[in-house]
Amino acid sequence: MLTEGKKAPSFKLKDQNGNDVSLKDFIGKQIVLYFYPKDDTPGCTKEACSFRDNFPDFKDINAVILGVSPDSPASHKKFISKYNLPFTLLSDENKEVLEKYEVWKEKNMYGKKYMGVERTTYIIDENGKIKKIFPKVKVDGHDKEVLEAIMKK
């Protein structure tokens, strides 16, 4: 089980442009690694746009924002373009990283069970260790909560 203080699982995923991105590319920076269910859906759009709106604050403290969902790079590219998102979205179509980060879970809607992404955010420190985990994220105010957690030493 992943816990705060442990080394973050490594990964290599395609970004919205089809380029490989891995965790080790960001050593020396704090990383906001947020997992979300689906591009261009109400909650996911609201979450992405709140990170977008506060992007300069994250940039000022040397933090990188990476969004991860099972959507394709092409879907991510459209989502970024539609909402002018200034950060990278990663595609995990095989759900390997979603499973490594323990966010691919059984969900239940209207009595129907299915597998999906549980909205979760990890803050990973400059050395690749998990600094903070936000499970079952509620979108409202989450960007501020993440910013505060990064700024705590």
CB within 8 Å of 106: residues ≥ 6 apart: 113, 114, 115
The active-site residue, picked from 31, 44, 89, 90, is: 44
- Look up residue 15 and give its two tokens: 């970004």
Q: Return the biggest CA–CA distance within the chain.
A: 45
Q: Is 49 in the active site?
A: no
Q: How many whole angstroms separate alpha carbon 47 and alpha carbon 140?
A: 8
- What amino acid positions are annotated as catalytic residues? 44
